[in-house]
Amino acid sequence: MASIPGHGSGLVPTMGALHQGHLALIQRAKEENERVTVSIFVNPTQFAPHEDFTRYPRPFEQDVEAAGSAGADLIFAPSVEEMYPRKTTVIRVLEVSDRWEGETRPTHFEGVATVVGKLLHLTRPDSVYFGQKDFQQCAVIRRMIEDLHWPVRLVVCPTIREPDGLAMSSRNRYLSAHERQTAPLIYRVLQDVRRDLLAGVPPSQAAHMGRKELEDNGLRVDYLTLVDEETLVPVEKISKKVAILVAARIGNVRLLDNLIVDGSPELSGS
C-alpha cells in the first residue's frame, strides 16, 4: 500500500501524557497524510490489576495543545464506557505475544490488540503510527494487521531519546532524581551489546555481559535478549534482522528499550 504524501488519513494511538516521542509520530503522520487523528485513551484492559491504571498521568489540556501544535487535526478521546460498553470480544495474537512482556504481563497484548482494533475501525486510517520504543507491541500489531488482512499501513517510527540516551516514555516521570541518573545506562548497555555482536561475540555471551552490567549497577533485569525482529523468537546467531530487547527495573519503575542489530554483511563490521 503506497502512501501519497498530502492525501489520506493517519492515526496516532496514544494513552496521552504526550512527550517528544509522541509528537514525532504526529509530525511524521502529518507529513504523510492530509488528516491526522490522535487518539488519547488510557486503555484499562492493557493494565493488570496491580499496575498503574488509576495513577497513569492524564494531562488532557496539555496533550490537546501539544498534539495540535504537532499537526493533529482531530483528537479522539472516548470514555471507557464508550470504548467498552461490553468486554466480550477480544483479539489474541498468539506466539508473538507470548514471550517477554507477555510473560510478565499475560493479558497485556490482548488488551492492546483489541483496543487498537477498535480504534482502527472507529477512525479507519490509511496509516497508523507507533514508536519502535514498544518493540513487541509493534510486532504484535504488525502480526494482527497481517493476519486479519487489515486494510491499513503500519508505520513504525524510531525511538526518540533524551540527550543522555534514555528512551522517552510517559513512565519516566515516575523516576526519582537518583534513578533518573541511572536510567541512561540501559541504552549504553544496548549499544555495548550491539557493538560486541558486530565484533563477533556470541549472542548468549553478549547478552550475559549486558545483563551483568545492568545488575552490577543495581537494576533488576526481567530480560535482555536477542530475538528475530518479526517473530520475537530468540536467536543464537546474527544472520538476519535481530533486535536486542531489554526490560529492567530501577526502583519501582520498569523501563523498556531495544535496538536493532543489522546483521547484514555490509554493516557487520561497522
- Among all residues, which ones are annotated catalytic? 22
The C-alpha atoms of residue 22 and residue 222 are separated, in whole angstroms, by 26
Site residues for its own copies per CB under 8 A: 85-96, 113-114, 117-118, 121-122, 124, 143-144, 146-151
Distance of CA 192 to the CA centre of its chain: 21
Residues with Cβ within 8 Å of residue 61, at least 6 apart in sequence: none
Q: Which is nearer to its own copies, 54 or 88 (CB)?
A: 88
Q: Are 156 and 132 in contact (CB under 8 A)?
A: yes
CA distances from 270 to 28, 56, 194, 264, 265 (A): 28, 41, 10, 11, 10
Q: Which is nearer to its own copies, 110 or 257 (CB)?
A: 110
Amino acid at 172: N
Distance of CA 267 to the CA centre of its chain: 25
The C-alpha atoms of residue 51 and residue 54 are separated, in whole angstroms, by 8
Q: Which is nearer to its own copies, 92 or 195 (CB)?
A: 92
Q: Which is nearer to its own copies, 143 or 254 (CB)?
A: 143
Q: Which is nearer to its own copies, 87 or 195 (CB)?
A: 87
Beta bridge partners of 63: none
Count Cβ atoms within 10 A of the Cβ of residue 76 and give its class: 0-12 exposed, 13-18 middle, 19 or more buried: middle
Q: Which of 229, 214, 225 has the alpha carbon at shortest distance from 260?
A: 229
Nine-digit cell string for 160:
526518540
Q: Which is nearer to its own copies, 151 or 202 (CB)?
A: 151
b/e code 146-182 from CB counts within 10 Å (16+ = b): eeeebebbbbbbebbbbeeebbbbbebebbeeebbeb
